[in-house]
With several copies, the nearest count.
Chain A
Amino acid sequence: MDEDAAFDQADDPVAARRAAEALIVDVDGYEGPLDMLLSLARGQKVDLRRISVLHLAEQYLAFIASAKALRIELAADYLVMAAWLAFLKSRLLLPPDPSEAGPSGEDLAAHLAFQLERLEAMRGAAARLMARDQKGRDFFVRGLTEDVTRIRRVSYTATLLDLMQAYARIRTKDEFRPYALDRESVYTMEEALERMRGMIGYAGDWVDLSSWLPEGWQLDPARRRAATAAHFAASLELVKQGALEIRQGDTFAPIHIRKRVP
């Protein structure tokens, strides 16, 4: 492996430099520090379970050192890993301090070995997965598919009661005609309220309510009556809401309204 060569030929500065550069360039090819550690570990050519984590840590730290010497910027996670490995290395080398809490160097090393083994195992699993027969590459789906056509059938129904009511309705049109308002000449309070709300802002001074009637509702007596009643009722509602003031000088005198200034 290139990395091994880098450290073996440390006495040859040019070769070392080249090898280190090659490794640096390769950093792009690594999927993070764990991946690089795995790659270095493979260089030990032993079962990952029996790997020397101490040696691995030293290899990694040497790589980081050479990268620094070459003034090559490394991603932060590589540096974090370096710091952690330096800590691990000291733990592994120094005799355990009984006063110090926390996991032992061996525990940490074992965990790192586990992580490497697990990553390796996942790599293998991924490779085996991708080596499987794949749809569209090794096996194929039906080319000429038939859609399920959805047929919607509508069925109509009616009851005897519907039938009889319908007949009764027709045969007794005159007497049966349900009470209906003659909507032609009806102006509802809701309509008036809606209309007045829109206009109220312009009513600064007293105005005759009758001048507020909408067009087409001022001449025909029936319509005028309806519109006046509706607008009067709406005015009262607006007074109640505190939006309007209303006054009438005398009985049957014109009703005046104006916007209420708070």
Chain B
Amino acid sequence: MAQDTEPEESLFEAPPMAEQERMVEAILFASADPVRVAELNARMPHGCDAAAALAHLARRYEGRGVNLVRVGEAWSFRTAPDLGFLMQKETVEIRKLSRAAIETLAIIAYHQPVTRAEIEEIRGVSLSRGTIDQLLELEWIRFGRRRMTPGRPVTYVVTEGFLDHFGLESARDLPGLKELRAAGLLDSRPMPGAEEDETDASTQGDMFEDES
């Protein structure tokens, strides 16, 4: 009896970790875009543990010419940043962003979720329509939840594409985020004498999604 069941068990046994590592390696090499852990698990044979395989793989590629990087919930291979000089750049042209667009992007990244009015408040100038459009088109920002304040304004948050472009694991890894927060510079402070609503609004937003 035991002999009968043994071969069956081995049928359903997950492949050895070294094999799983090869599989993750192959799948990630085949894709230019980051692949989510869930998708890896779905594509690998039953019983595989993509997360564990990724951990092994990341170690293997440490210091190599290509590195395994995390982008939000997804993973991808990228060439090591110090070797950028070897690459031919004419194929990928980085669009020159306006100063307004860059600042707006930074404000969205650090203050997300943030409304248009808040962006304008921080910059002290109204936002031209093209700025948001451009960032949406680049797929660096997307709409977040509507703010639960009168008018239910839309909010903006950054995307995984943004994280991917700037080599960030998550929005928490934005440079200087902690210092800015500690200095109170990410607070939304209303103008003294202004209505209280605004404070409520930003506090609420913070509660809804601190991180996206």
Contacts and interface: CB of A to CB of B under 8 A. Distances in A.
- The answer on direct contact between A and B (beta carbons under 8 Å) is yes
A158 to B, nearest CB: 4
A151 B90 contact: yes
B122 interface: yes
Interface string A148-171: 111111111111111111111111
Interface string A111-135: 1001101110111111011101111
A221 interface: no
Interface stretch (B6-14, B26-34, B145-153): B26-34
Nearest to B26: A140
Contact of B193 (A77, A102, A118, A176): A102
A21 interface: no
Interface centre among A107, A159, A165 (most CB of B within 10 A): A165
B163 to A, nearest CB: 10
Contact of A130 (B80, B89, B102, B194): B102
Contacts of A146: 30-31, 79, 87
Given A122-B106, A165-B191, A32 B185 contact: no
Interface string B61-105: 000000000000000111111001001111111111101111101
A31 B103 contact: yes
B110 interface: yes
B109 A135 contact: no
B94 A157 contact: yes
Nearest to A142: B32
Interface in B155-198: 164-168, 174-177, 180-181, 183, 185-186, 188-189, 191-194
Interface in A60-94: 77
Interface pairs A-B: 10 shortest CB-CB: A34-B124, A32-B125, A103-B192, A126-B106, A136-B92, A167-B106, A146-B30, A140-B30, A133-B81, A143-B32
Interface of B: 26, 29-33, 43, 76-81, 84, 87-97, 99-103, 105-107, 109-110, 122-126, 134, 138, 164-168, 174-177, 180-181, 183, 185-186, 188-189, 191-194, 202-203, 206-207
Interface of A: 31-35, 37, 77, 102-104, 107-108, 110-111, 114-115, 117-119, 121-126, 128-130, 132-173, 175-180, 183
28 contacts: A31-B99, A103-B192, A107-B193, A108-B193, A110-B192, A121-B180, A126-B102, A133-B166, A136-B165, A141-B76, A144-B33, A145-B31, A151-B90, A152-B90, A153-B90, A155-B94, A157-B165, A160-B166, A161-B191, A167-B107, A167-B110, A168-B181, A169-B103, A169-B202, A170-B107, A171-B122, A175-B186, A178-B206
